[in-house]
Amino acid sequence: MKPTTLEAYEHFVYNLREIFPSIQSSTLRIIRTGPDSERLVGIVTFPHNIHLDVAELVDFDAGYFEILQYGYVVWQHDERLYWYDSQEHPHDSTLASTHPHHKHIPPDIKHHRIPAPGLSFTEPNLIFLIREVEQLLST
């Protein structure tokens, strides 16, 4: 699913529960920041008190879908299980294969980073993230 307009991305976001029945609720909301840009923020809730916090800055200014910046955090109850962010770490050679996309995982979740080949700036990341949570639910 590669949206061609902001409206198409909005339709996708606001209909996630139809695509993924595992979603119990969603507070995702799109805030227009300009004629061709928006912020996506909110929480997607799953069974077993798992929730996904989402923050994206999305732009269509160049004529195509582009995520300029993101942060995604997966929680269970009050425990942060892992997170993704697009902050660059150019001096960490272990992340070069997916630069700047990476995942923070335990132990030492703040400093323990691994490559994140499932994330993109040019495709919606929500599909990958929700499927990853669904895998977590099935274990």
The single-letter code of the amino acid at 131 is R
Q: How many beta carbons lie within 10 A of that of residue 28, not counting itself?
A: 18
Burial 72-104 (b: 16+ CB within 10 A, else e): bbbbeeeeebbbbbbeeeeeeeebeeeebbbbb
Can you tell me the distance from the alpha carbon of 124 to that of 40, in angstroms, rounded to the nearest whole number?
A: 11
Can you tell me the distance from the alpha carbon of 94 to that of 48, in angstroms, rounded to the nearest whole number?
A: 33
Three-state DSSP at 12 gives: helix
Average pLDDT over residues 3-24: 93
Looking at residue 63, its pLDDT comes to 81
Query: What's the chain's length in residues?
Result: 139
Average pLDDT over residues 81-100: 89
Looking at residue 3, its pLDDT comes to 85
Q: How many beta carbons lie within 10 A of that of residue 124, not counting itself?
A: 19
Looking at residue 61, its pLDDT comes to 83
Domains and their CATH numbers in the chain: 6-78+120-137 (3.10.450)
pLDDT(21) > 90: yes
pTM: 0.93
Q: How confident is the model over 100-132, as pLDDT tens digits?
A: 999 999 999 988 999 999 999 999 999 999 999
pLDDT(92) > 90: no
Q: How confident is the model over 24-73, as pLDDT tens digits?
A: 999 999 999 988 889 999 999 999 999 999 999 999 887 889 999 999 99
Looking at residue 73, its pLDDT comes to 98
Average pLDDT over residues 71-76: 98
Strands (E), 60-121: 66-76, 79-85, 102-104, 113-115
